[in-house]
Structure 1
Amino acid sequence: MAAIGEQVRVAGLALAGVTVLIAEEPDAVRRAWQSLPHDVTLVIVTPAAADTLGQAMLDSARPLAAVMPT
């Protein structure tokens, strides 16, 4: 499991063993998505990261993406 987004929103997930990819800017979000390890099956993204990635990327079969509530 991994999480992508702003530090203040995702940093705490590391305590639960989630791989946290801090991405504050749109380019960083796209780079984080592209760099996900192949064994990641679920990615939690912040609303801002979801806006950057777009619906098509979030609808991909792998990895499954879940958007944090606002």
Structure 2
Amino acid sequence: MKAIVFIDLFQSLLMFIAAFSVIVVAAIHADGLGDIWHEAECGGRIDFLNFDPDPTTRHTWWALIIGGTVTN
């Protein structure tokens, strides 16, 4: 049991470090997180309150809530 907990902890740390390093490298190349956020806004990628009922639209509020509930 100790080995399983240790390996799970190690794997979690590796995933966190990998995600954090991707963010840091992207921020360095883009001259900061603000530039990344601005580019995402200009590209129409930042839309938190999309209540479109169209099932073919990706990442709407309804799809995330219903899909997350079914998945859970």
* Greater helix proportion: 2
TM-score interval w.r.t. the shorter chain? under 0.3
The structure with higher relative contact order (CA 8 Å, sep 6+) is 1
Instruction: Point out the structure with max Rg over C-alpha.
Output: 2
TM-score by length of 2: 0.24
TM-score by length of 1: 0.25
* Greater strand proportion: 1
